Amino acid sequence: MHLDNILLHLCNVMLVYAITRKSCFLAGQQVLFFPFTAAILFAIHPINTESVIWISGRTDLLACFFILLSVYLLLNRPLPFVFSLLSACCLLLACLSKETAIFFLPAAIAIPLFLPADPAAVASIGKIIRKHLPHGMVFGVVGAGYLVFRRFAISGGDQGIARVVSHVAGKESADLLLSIQMIFKAIGFYTKKFIIPFPLNFGIVHVSEIYIPIGLSVCVCICWFVMRRRSLSCFFLISALCIASSTILILLLRITWTPLAERYMYIPAAFFVVGSTMTIQQWRYYQCYHKYLLAIVGVFMAIFLFGTFTRNLLWKDNLSLFQDTVRKSPGFMPAQNELANALKEHGQANEALEIYKTFQMRDDVINSQYAMMNKAGAFADNDEYAQAREILKRVLINPGRHEASVLKKILEINKIQLLRGKATSTALYDNNVTCLSRLYEITRDPFYQYRLGIVHLHEKNRQKSLKAFTIVYNTAPHEAYYYKPAEKLMKELAK
């Protein structure tokens, strides 16, 4: 499985080389050094480590492949409509791989403005727009089609779009000034990560305020660059900013457990290295300082290679990875949870329990209910069943979409306590009945009625047991493994 990620990354590296070479050709340069440099920098950049090593990063790799293929098709002068159509199809495939690829749409529509013009013809912006109107329309149709597809294909509607609207104009809208500060902070932070990726951290939870002016400066520089000259190097930098803007929504909406992460920058990194190398190649003083620039590039490659190599070693083991994460982000509860899980897997149950005891339920952490269930499980493993159930009882106050999982965890703890001889079925009867009844209420799964009937039967409550088995008989599929036993017990109890 990891080999697939490596092969996809290799394909993306080759596409970065091909795009840079074709862009240099369109700009009138035939030097192979810059395409090679861009490809190598992208291949070994430490910020890409998470996406390549982590199996969950495959969506980034696939989306990047189709976006880069889309860009390669657009790098033509003149730009045929059939190439625009094929490029738009590639962008659609990228969006189906990972939804954040849709943020490349504005840059894809605007690319005719940045393609090098024929030296014999000087066209105004308006003329370029009119000439490439079919290009913009086909990308607009693909973008609208993708959003419509999400609206009807996703069960319950597209909650992602709904959350964006609610955050911007609804009851969840945040303070405008605070949101702007967070945007500039994220831009500054990620720009620094492209150039100086260290320290590398899987769980980034705090970013210094110093990145706010850096982010503002980056935005001003890009605007100035666009106004002064429209070139492919400018297009690639703008594309990096467009795709990276998706991470700003992640930060504002808190839709993942890591609001800032290095893996979010895999696709923008490809555009950043292409844009940066082309900017240096077009620098008027490049020939004067090319020896120094070569030395600087060599140093960066050595540093990047070392960072990527050490990061790969760290990712080989969950224990070492999360020890590193907790050391760099000590207040990051999901990392503490994963570290405790890794310690349990390595047979260090006491150390894991000590970590579980330190964190509490937090509404601002996505899926923190899982951590609390692990914490309850650790207490149960230590024969502290009352404390374990109390933890889960507090989680049920605000279970989110995890109520069923929490109830199942309570039943599991009760079963462990019963099997270990630490309680009787009578003592656990009321709690089991409450959990199973609620599970049936929220899932309508007749299996929980079957289990409920068994619980009642153990306590000699024939009437309630008969009622439960009758519900199973009337609602469960006949091929269910528990259907026949329920039918038999129902008939025996009805006598």
Q: What is the pLDDT of residue 356?
A: 85
Give Cα separations from 71 to 8, 105, 160, 378 (angstroms).
17, 11, 26, 51
Q: How far is CA 99 from the centre of its chain?
A: 10
Encoded tokens for 122 = 């000087």
408 lies in the same domain as 475? no
| 119-132 CB burial, b ≥16 within 10 A, e <16 | eeeeeeeeebbeeb
The dihedral over CA atoms of 229, 235, 240, 242, expressed in degrees to the nearest 10, equals: 90
Q: For the domain that residue 487 is a member of, what is the CATH number?
A: 1.25.40
* DSSP codes joined into one string, 119-163: TT----HHHHHHHTHHHHHHHHHHHHHHHHHHHHHSTT--HHHHH
Max Cα separation, the chain? 101
Q: What is the pLDDT of residue 83?
A: 93
Query: Each residue's pLDDT tens digit in the chain (495 positions)?
Result: 578 899 999 999 999 999 999 998 887 777 788 899 999 999 999 999 999 998 888 999 999 999 999 999 999 878 889 999 999 999 999 999 998 899 999 999 999 988 876 544 456 777 888 888 999 999 999 999 998 888 777 655 555 555 554 444 444 445 667 777 888 888 899 999 999 999 899 888 888 889 999 989 988 888 887 777 778 888 999 999 899 888 777 766 666 667 778 888 999 999 999 999 988 887 766 677 778 888 888 999 999 999 999 999 998 888 999 999 999 888 788 888 889 889 988 888 888 888 888 877 666 667 788 888 988 998 998 899 999 999 999 999 888 889 999 999 999 999 999 999 999 989 999 999 999 999 999 999 999 999 999 999 998 898 999 999 999 999 999 999 999 999 999 988 887
Q: Please check whether residue 198 is in contact with residue 46, taking contact to mean a CB–CB distance below 8 angstroms.
A: yes
Q: How far is CA 365 from the centre of its chain?
A: 15
31 lies in the same domain as 154? yes
Angle of the 333-345 helix axis to the 318-328 helix axis, nearest 10: 150
Residue 192 to residue 177: CA distance in whole angstroms: 23
Cα–Cα nearest to 28, from 289, 273, 231, 292:
231
| 254-288 CB burial, b ≥16 within 10 A, e <16 | eeebbbbbbbbbbbbbbbbbbbbbbbbbbeeeeee
Q: What is the pLDDT of residue 245?
A: 85
399 lies in the same domain as 474? no
How does pLDDT run across 313-367, given as a tens digit for each residue? Answer: 998 888 999 999 999 888 788 888 889 889 988 888 888 888 888 877 666 667 7
Within 10 Å of residue 203's Cβ, how many Cβ atoms?
23
Residue 410 to residue 369: CA distance in whole angstroms: 13
Residue 448 to residue 436: CA distance in whole angstroms: 6
**What angle (nearest 5°) sits at the alpha carbon of residue 378, between those of residues 374 and 384?**
130
405 lies in the same domain as 456? no
3-class DSSP assignment, residue 367: coil
458 lies in the same domain as 417? no
Residue 198 to residue 212: CA distance in whole angstroms: 19
29 lies in the same domain as 178? yes
227 lies in the same domain as 159? yes
Question: What is the total count of domains within the chain?
Answer: 4
* DSSP codes joined into one string, 461-491: -HHHHHHHHHHHHHHS-TTSTTHHHHHHHHH
43 lies in the same domain as 112? yes
- The boundaries of the domain holding residue 341 are 317-358
0.75 surpassed by pTM: yes
Q: What is the pLDDT of residue 279?
A: 85
Cα–Cα nearest to 6, from 81, 64, 61, 74:
61
101 lies in the same domain as 238? yes
Residue 427 to residue 432: CA distance in whole angstroms: 10
3-class DSSP assignment, residue 26: helix
173 lies in the same domain as 227? yes
64 lies in the same domain as 109? yes
Q: What is the pLDDT of residue 120?
A: 44
| 33-70 CB burial, b ≥16 within 10 A, e <16 | ebbebbbbbbbbbbbbbbbbbbeebbbbbbbbbbbbbb
Give Cα separations from 268 to 69, 265, 304 (angstroms).
14, 5, 17
Q: Please check whether residue 253 is in contact with residue 196, taking contact to mean a CB–CB distance below 8 angstroms.
A: no
381 lies in the same domain as 458? no
- Identify the DSSP state of 111: G
Encoded tokens for 390 = 């109390």
Beta bridge partners of 260: 204
